[in-house]
Amino acid sequence: MEPNEFTQTVEQARQRERPPSSLEAFWGGFDSPLRVAATQTVVERWVAGGHRWRLGPNHIVLVAEGPSRNGFRSVVAIYSDGRVLVPFHSYAGVNSGIPVPALMEQSFRSHADALFGFTGKERLATTVPDWLTESTVDPLLDSVPRSRTRTCKQ
């Protein structure tokens, strides 16, 4: 017995959702050398600061030490099209049940909204494509929450 068309379609979609097998494979998914360069700069500086990352199907998640069950929290996700996702709902504890009060303050949210072009109402906010460029690397890294109390390695 062979899989029917529906089963084949579902399996193909699942294959596309798997994270790349390596960071090199992730970089290969970019169609712009400028976007890959900006993202590589962010990741290199993030790791140099003692932080972690993990790959998603079409994005890389910057992870930092913070209040959670395993001691680490997702900070932002960067997509191969230059979008940056800021998980405000996660900062509020939606996923873990453990909120981060400093990241729920109006001053933090106002700064993030101004930097990323958000309205202030998003719970899971994503920038426009091509937001991440060499000129937005420093503002991004200067604004994202991170702990420096312990060095973490990928």
Q: Is the pTM of this model over 0.85?
A: no
As given in the structure block, the two tokens for residue 47 are 């790791």
pLDDT digits (tens, 9 = 90+) for 81-131: 999 999 999 888 887 888 888 888 999 999 999 999 999 988 889 999 999
Gap between the Cα atoms of 110 and 14, Å rounded: 37
